[in-house]
Amino acid sequence: MRYLLLLFFLLLLPQPSFTKEIDSSHAAEIGADGVQRAEVIAGSYYFRPNHIIVKAGVPAELEIRSEALIVPHDFIVKAPDAGIDVSEELTRKPVIVRFTPTKGGRYPFYCGRGLPFQKSHRAKGMEGVLEVIP
C-alpha cells in the first residue's frame, strides 16, 4: 500500500518534457489513389509535425501513433463545419484517421489528456494546427 501511495504522489509531480520539439510543418502528399496522407507522432507533450497542410475537397488520412512509453495521449481536432471531427486514443500502434476537409481554414489539434491537479497536455504545448488550403 505504501508503494501505491508513493507512485500516486510521483505521478502528481510535474513531468518534464525530455524532448523539446521545434515547430515543424508538413504538407500531406497525394497518392496515386487520390488520397492525401501524412504521418503524425505524439511524444512527450508534442506532436511531430505540429503543422499539417491538406487540400480542401481531397480525402485525407493521418497515420498517428504515440512514442510515449507510459503517459497516455489522444488526438483531437473539432471542425465539423469543415468536415473534420476527430477524437482518437493513441497507442504505440498506428491509428488511421480519415476525413475529407470541405473548406479552408486553420484548425487546432491537441491532446486532451492530463492528470488531476496538473496542467493539461495541451497547456504543456501538445498542440498543433491542421491547415486546409483551397
Reported confidence tier of residue 22, pLDDT bands at 50, 70, 90: low
| Alpha-carbon span 26 to 124, nearest angstrom | 22
Cell of 52: 499539417
Angle made by CA atoms 99, 100, 104, in degrees to the nearest 5: 120
Sign of CA dihedral 119, 129, 63, 89: positive
Q: Which residues contact 27 (CB under 8 A, 6 or more apart)?
A: 38, 52, 53, 54
> Model pTM?
0.81
Q: How many CB atoms lie within 10 A of CB 132?
A: 23
Percent residues over pLDDT 70 in the chain? 83
Does 110 have pLDDT greater than 80?
yes
Show the domains of the chain with their CATH numbers.
21-133 (2.60.40.420)
Does 14 have pLDDT greater than 70?
no
pLDDT tens-digit readout, 46-77 = 999 999 999 999 999 999 999 988 889 999 99
Among the ranges 17-21, 78-82, 115-119, which has the highest mean pLDDT value? 78-82
